[in-house]
Amino acid sequence: MTSAELAALAAIEEGKYAQAFPSFGPERRGAPVMAFVRVSDQPIVTREKVYEPNYVVVLDPTLLKLVNVEAGLKKGGIVIVNTPKSAAEIRKESGIKAKLATVDASKIAMDTMRVTITNTTMLGALVKAVPNLLPLKALNGPIEHRFGGIAAKNIASCNRAFEETKVEG
């Protein structure tokens, strides 16, 4: 949810329209959660769940074995995965056919922030995989506002993920 909120705030600061919202079911604590972000140059009038995403960001790679992350993905969509594995390995293990972006966000987060919380890290991967969505620097303000004294490490993690993300296929 944090990633979704930060992306929406960055889009709004860039003069776009945006909304972010979670999708919670009867899950227990620690269960997979989905969050959605809409970004547009036009006002957004719908408030429903996103059924056909353009992009899917997977913060926890174990979800690839539990969830069909390509479900509803629009033609030309991109799946962005936190993983130390190559795109070829991910495709072989999960069957993903869509364009794929990979980055070892867990390692980057541990190296830069000393925790494996990957929300801001994966924002850098998203911006790399979808260059027309937002400029990387647009994330700085929302990250600084949200994280205060630890913002610099989060921004460093985000920037490093942008540099290290590999986009294939």
Q: What is the CATH number that goes with domain 2-168?
A: 3.40.920.10
Alpha carbon distance 61, 107 (integer Å): 13
Question: What is this structure's pTM?
Answer: 0.93
Which residues is 167 bridged to in the sheet?
A: 101
Domain ranges of the chain: 2-168
- Give the pLDDT of residue 32: 67
Core vs surface per residue 33-45: b (16+ CB within 10 A) or e: ebbbbbbeeeeee
> What confidence tens digit (pLDDT) does each residue in 34-93 have?
899 999 999 999 988 899 999 999 999 999 998 899 999 999 999 999 999 999 999 999
